[in-house]
Amino acid sequence: MEGLGLAYLGAGLGAGLAVIGAGLGIGNIAASAAEGTARQPEATSDIRTTMIIAAALIEGVALFGEVICVLLALK
């Protein structure tokens, strides 16, 4: 029972880091997509498709990290 508080703390920190990482990753993707569209407007649809796929993959990894943290906290 002594380590229960530390488990919650670790889960909270892990979840927070997962969210921060996902936010930074998606922000970088959006910035790169905006720059790519500004440089080559005719490739907008290709850039948008690639951006959405990459953002979905990042969100998937962040969600996986969140689930792992919750499972560790509830153990």
List, for residues 1-16, the tens digit of each pLDDT value.
Answer: 566 788 888 889 999 9
> Per-residue pLDDT averaged across 59-68, rounded?
93
CB atoms under 10 Å from CB of 62, counted, come to 20
Q: Per residue in 8-33, is it b (16+ CB within 10 Å) or e — as a string?
A: eeebeebbeebeeebeebbeebeeeb
Domains of the chain by residue range: 4-74
Task: Look at the pTM and tell me if it is higher than 0.85.
Answer: no
CATH number belonging to domain 4-74: 1.20.20.10
The CA-CA-CA angle for residues 10, 66, 48, to 5°, reads: 140
